[in-house]
Structure 1
């Protein structure tokens, strides 16, 4: 072989080897990137599943028991990856998670407010009904005729029905401690 041919062949083998090396490096970089991307996606998946399976049901149960919830503690930001797209998905998931916890907290606060309204209405009605029942007792004792006594008993019956409605409001409000200085309704038929 002549030196020119050897030079051409050497360059050809050098170019082929460099190309083969470039392909091998490209495959290695792609595999490393794919592994890192898969690891970040698995981490994001675990971060997404934990709130759905564990944290959100636990938060809802605590809210039902009347406990206070800190949204920032109960909806921590997920672990974000180094890949921009995965970091953006993690941020979007964080926003969804915070909204879900905030909504659950808002619903619990709304239920508690409605419960307080029912209890407040019941206590006001109860106070009026107790006064009305005392007045009816006095009027029944002083009734002169059977007709008056019959009308007072009908009014007493209506007042007792109103008292039961007030008790129903307390039941709808759910278990709550009674107001200071109040006694439960007394049975009267």
Structure 2
């Protein structure tokens, strides 16, 4: 089970829709509110706003995801897996998460054993390894970014996650020679 806490943003596209849904359920079947799992409700919201998309020309991409920030990358990974661009991809996903048991199945569903996609998972929890995954204990560090410099320089770089995560990753990337202006990022707002 996965749960989130959200704040309503006046005139927000995503939060407005979610709050309308909750209010309607509250009127019709309020007993469902504490646990809506039996309803099997899915809401197709992914990358509601922003400019993340795979460029047609570049095949070398690195995606840095802090926690739920990976959600913005799932459709991109699906495009790679589904032949969006006809193969030849070299994608590195660096995922930092406190909930690998929740987020990794979503990632594996998109990439499976996809050739050309390597996943680095950082977590304080035990993580089952997969064929295209490298598991690291703890968090992404400056040392890690420096040691893996060749994995970042010369790629399209995308970063999504909480503000402190973004600052840390972007600072480390700039330190190893990635131009700050070339890094595309998304932030969470409510």
Q: Normalized against structure 1, the TM-score is what?
A: 0.21
RCO comparison, higher one (Cα < 8 Å, 6+): 2
More helix by share: 1
Q: Normalized against structure 2, the TM-score is what?
A: 0.21
